[in-house]
Amino acid sequence: MPFAHLVVGPPGSGKSTYCDGMHQFLSAIGRKCSVVNLDPANDRTNYPCALDIRELVTLEDIMVDEELGPNGGVLYALEELEHNKEWLEQGLKGLGEDYVLFDCPGQVELFTHHSSLRNIFFRIQKLGYRVRFPVRLFTVFESQDQADVSWIYS
């Protein structure tokens, strides 16, 4: 049974960096590992992307086509992914028993006011993945500029 490692956290907290590091680490110890980008705003990634939501939909296109701002665009993109879950399921099938890291978007609305990402997570679990949630919340505290972290609580 494969593992799904869902990397969640606020914008800029280091989710993509973490996916890159974990991918390098797991590859170095000989564990088969793939990274799936679920963030439609991720226009470049340091890790090799096994599956990319941007093959389905990009934030830039949504913002133009639907006349939405960046946050609304991300919600819309996740709804598109939810409605095209076969695309994700087919892609994941191709990854076999790989340990799969999911680089998730950070918009808080996706976790507080919206069901698409949650439904996608449930779907992944139903596919037989053992789901793990490493939450990237503390990067800001490690950074040199520790002066203003109040935005986390606002």
Ligand X SMILES: Nc1nc2c(ncn2[C@@H]2O[C@H](COP(=O)(O)OP(=O)(O)OP(=O)(O)O)[C@@H](O)[C@H]2O)c(=O)[nH]1
Q: How far is the CB of 130 from ligand X (least distance, A)?
A: 23
| Partner touching 143 among ligand X, Mg ion, none, CB below 5 to 8 Å by kind | ligand X
User: Taking CA 59 as the corner, what is the angle to CA 49 and CA 53, rounded to the nearest 5 degrees?
Assistant: 30
**Of the candidates 41, 120, 42, 49, the residue with the CA atom closest to the CA atom of residue 80:** 120
Cβ proximity to ligand X: between 90 and 143 the closer is 143
Contact mark string toward Mg ion, 3..32, x via CB under 5 A:
------------xx----------------
Residue type, 70: P
| Partner touching 46 among Mg ion, ligand X, none, CB below 5 to 8 Å by kind | none
| Partner touching 12 among Mg ion, ligand X, none, CB below 5 to 8 Å by kind | ligand X
Interface size with Mg ion, residues (CB under 5 A): 2
Cβ proximity to Mg ion: between 21 and 127 the closer is 21
CA 55 vs CA 29, 48, 95: distances in Å: 30, 14, 16
* 21/32 Cα distance (integer angstroms): 14
* 26/24 Cα distance (integer angstroms): 6
| Partner touching 142 among ligand X, Mg ion, none, CB below 5 to 8 Å by kind | ligand X
Q: How far is the CB of 87 from ligand X (least distance, A)?
A: 21
DSSP 3-state assignment of 100? strand
